[in-house]
Amino acid sequence: MKSISNSIMLLWTTLVVRRSSAFRPWGIPNSRVNRMTRFSSTSSLEWSTEKVRSTFVEYFEKQHNHTMVPSSACAPLNDPTLLFTNAGMNQFKPIFLGQVDPTSPLAKLQRAVNSQKCIRAGGKHNDLEDVGRDTYHHTFFEMLGTWSFGNYFKKEAIDMAWDLLTRVYALNPENLYATYFEGNEQIPADIDARDYWLQYLPAHKVIACPARDNFWEMGDVGPCGPCSEIHYDRIGNGRDASALVNQDDPNVIEIWNIVFIQFNREGPTELSTLPAKHIDTGMGLERLTSILQQKSSNYDIDCFQPLFEALQAKSPTARPYAGKLGADDADFHDTAYRAIADHARTLSFAIADGVIPNNEGRGYVLRRILRRAARYGQQILQLPSGFMAELVPIVVQTFGDAFPELKQQEKHIIQVIKEEEEAFGSMLQRGIQYFEQEIVATAGSEAIKIIPGKQAFYLYDTLGFPLDLTQLMAQEAGFTVDTQGFDQAMQEQKKRSRQAQKQARNNNSQGDVLGELQAEQTAWLRQNDILPTDDSFKYDWDVELPATVKAIYTSDGFVAADESAPDGATVGLILDKSSFYAVAGGQETDKGVLDIMDDSNQVVGHFYVNDVQSYAGFVVHEGVVKWTGSSQQLQVGQSVTCRVDYERRQRIAPNHSMTHVLNAALRQVLGDSVDQRGSLCNDEKLRFDFSYNKALNVEQLQAIESSCQAVVADDVAVSSQVLPLAEAQALNGVRAVFGEVYPDPVRVISVGEDTSIEFCGGTHVKRTGEAKSFCLIEETAVAKGIRRITAVTQQAAVEALHQGKALEEQVLQLEKQPDGEVAGALRKQVDSTIMSAALKVSLRARLESIQKAANEAQKKLLQQKVDKALVQLEQQIGQVAEDEKALVLQVDIGGDSKASQRVLNTVQSLAPTKAFLGLSQEGSKVFAFCVVPDALVDQGFRADAWIQAALAPCGGRGGGKAGSAQGQAKECEDLSVVLAAAQQFAQSQVSSNVV
């Protein structure tokens, strides 16, 4: 930092020197490192980043029959268990868990390959703190991955990896090392993997490692298994680097990890065996490319150079990037280069995939990343505010061909980053100034300097500095942060929120909560010859469908065939067929009843269905039983009759169909760049989230609402058809939800001939007229760049529109005879009424105009009133004898303070030597104001005492200075009493007569 003393900076760098082996290539002088990192022209590259990526994919596609599956979004918007996609296998999680729908394209995969966009900046896999400090960590990176889903296993995966690395990429086999899982108390050592590697490597290069290195887990729960890592020694030259494997040496780095997925993590000590064995491999594109380009650092490869060149060009002081580390980078110049370049990629890819910086979850992580980069750029490289947004086109140009979503979202990315930078810009300077002046400059001489938790919390709460950014600045300055104190300060702020959340959970508790079906459960169902539920009847209406209970699932697992479901418990019933719609695509689940039948086909009980979920095609009806007959045993094989609450569905279906119409209307009014970001359809309303960067104005809201109302009025047909996915994707104008995985074949919903066509598995009306009406009741922000519309249909819409028209008529009448007080009351009524959002905005504006006009008229009347009072005042003063020293007069000016000042100015102009007290009455209120010349003040005549004495008979109060004062009495029916008290006090203060 520029303003921090060199001695403070050296304190940190001295500590770093002690770890120099973690920063410096083994045995190579720093001067040589700097020479090695200088980059040559990309035109002479044999292995560009693009070629490394395409070679990997083509090798597995063409030589080993893998299917190329495009990278999923780096933010798994449909998986709340992950902040970000941190590995290539995330999108294949349903396969490993046994939850993939049989109609999904994933269900047909046996082998797959891709280059997956990954972010590791939160949760279990978090590399954020290391980015910039070394040459091989990134928050964003590409993972070259291959998968086998129950097809091939360890031997084939190892054989392919060796062939690709040594033959295709032509890496020196002498520089390769492999690791395998050494085993623990739960799982034995992976001897198979060891023996397969011994076919290619000598024993000392096949290394046993503990679980922290060689047992891979995606998260706290989920698929996992032992793994085998491939490490590469950049130095080579015949040396034995086995002791440096997994020791954070930048020259002996892991490049590929082959995971043998065999288990599912269900808890800290709970592992279950998956029904099939899978392969999941991942190789860091940047690391492999650095080796192939013979660079000592990931940041020296071709894809980073345009960013470094742009940073140097934008900075007035920055020298070219030199790849310095640790003590050699004492001013953090090259650290800043690396961090900013990395973070520019992360922000661009994440925002393109739908993440918006905010204060929650992955959005907050993104905000931290942007602020970290902004601080590095402005403080270290002296870059101007807004520089991060200017890096986006470079990222797009470098990666846009491989990831076209960057090109499609370029303007959106720039706008989001620009707005976020602007919001943080002023706070950044204030934060740096506070840090340097209030913390660093005032620190004592102690060897260990600690930033109090309250100061760190002030930086966070007031100036927007994430704790990790404060810790980074503290570390650079030789300080530590009292994180315990920070946490204590944070707890008080969050206390109410935690209590509210706890209360909400208690209020929503409905007894036992069933766990989702995962691989173990779906495999058990198949092993017991239970087929996926036939739920094709979910699109039928007004049917009572006979079905048979095939399995009963409880919080403790499946109920045995000869046992019954526990009484009073929440259980899940899996039927052979069902007419219930399982929650999906934003539509809430059907509710209803399963009539439980006895052997004579008599109803003996009712199973009240309150939730319906689908896992791998098995539909789970969750609910509780209420018995009506003598038999009280719910068992496998029992007959039931499905009775959906169709009245409720009839309220949901119009809302779902109208989300499609709304989606089309939004694109029509706002442009084709609008994308759906989520939806909710229930029996009360519809809610639709979409990408847009600013609030909608009245004209836009009216146009959207009118477009939807026109479709309802036209009563167009809503039709469905089931098509092969590829054929459906080729349909002209078809829309799909961002980040959604669709089945093959897929259901396509069309509204009219050209209104809307979308992939959708929900329930819909047959014609739009069934919606009766449409009313857009709210438009608001969800997050930066994401807006939300809430609307109603059917009777709720009719009533909302009626309420709006009634209020509009009242406003129209008020405009004819303006009344400010009535306008204020009507404004409150408008605010609280459910009505058209566009009309609500319009009526608010009209009422504000009425109030403004009324206020102006009132001001004009008051002005006239004051002018008249001043004329009378001049006449009264002209009639007062010269020897009279105090005046008490009634002045008709209402309660306007500015008018009272005009009165006092007039008195001081016409009678500067006289004390004056004016009284004005408005209703039951009395306002008093006075002025006393300095000469009388010197004789003991005080204005503040005069006011107090005058208002005392009415219980009024006032105050001020010796020379001027004012006050009021809220209840005073007889002004003469106040006049008399004021005159009496004045008479006691002067010897002359008082008017």
Amino acid letter, residue 89: M
Identify the CA nearest to 521 among candidates 743, 266, 744: 266
Cβ atoms of residues 37 and 322 within 8 Å: yes
d(CA 987, CA 126): 83
Q: Is 516 exposed, middle or buried (0-12, 13-18, 19+ CB in 10 A)?
A: exposed
- DSSP, collapsed to helix, strand or coil, labels residue 518 as coil
Query: What is the C-alpha separation between 662 and 706, in angstroms, rounded?
Result: 10
Cα 296 to Cα 250: distance, rounded to the nearest angstrom? 8
- In the chain, helix, strand, coil percent, each to 5? 45, 25, 35
* Two tokens, residue 606: 């009712």
Please name every residue paired with 886 in a beta bridge, in sequence order, or none if there are none.
Answer: 915
Which position has the token pair 């090392």? 177
With the CA atoms of 307, 356, 405 and 738 taken in that order, what torsion angle do they form, in degrees rounded to the nearest 10? Answer: 170
CB 763 within 8 A of CB 539: yes
Does 764 carry a binding-site annotation?
A: yes
For the chain, what is the radius of gyration of the CA atoms? 38
79: part of which helix (H) or strand (E)?
A: none
Please give the C-alpha separations between residue 557 and each of 220, 264, 521, 578, 610, in angstroms, as whole numbers: 21, 16, 8, 22, 19
Cβ 949 vs Cβ 985: under 8 Å: yes
* Element housing 942 (H / E): none
Q: Length of the chain, please?
A: 995
Q: Bridge-partner residues for 147, per DSSP?
A: 112, 280
In 3D, which of 811, 802, 878 has the Cα closest to residue 842? 811
Place of tokens 């094709």: 536
The neighbouring-strand residues paired with 800 are none
303 known member of a binding site: no
- Establish whether 642 is an annotated binding residue: no
850-861 in b/e form (b: 16+ CB < 10 A) is bbeebeeeeeee
Give just the sign of the alpha carbon dihedral 18, 24, 26, 31: negative
H and E: helices and strands count for the chain: 28, 32
Give CA 381 to chain center in angstroms: 30
Beta strands in 533-675 (DSSP E): 544-554, 557-558, 571-575, 592-597, 603-615, 618-627, 639-644
DSSP states of 888-917 as a string?
A: EEE---TT-HHHHHHHHHHHHHH-TTSEEE
**CA–CA dist 212, 248 (Å, integer):** 14
Q: Is the dihedral of CA 163, 167, 171, 172 positive or negative?
A: positive
Strands (E), 446-513: 449-451, 479-481
Nearest to 286 by CA among 296, 273, 299: 299
656 is in an annotated binding site: yes
Cβ-contact 196, 154 below 8 angstroms: yes
Residue 87 to residue 74: CA distance in whole angstroms? 9
Both structure tokens of 780: 């608001």
- For residue 489, the surrounding DSSP H or E stretch is helix 483-508
Distance CA 352, CA 410 (A): 8
Q: In the Cβ-directed half-sphere of 112, how many Cα atoms lie within 13 Å?
A: 27
- The tokens for 470 are 């404060």
> Binding site residues for Zn(2+), as ranges?
656, 660, 760, 764
> Binding site residues, as ranges?
656, 660, 760, 764
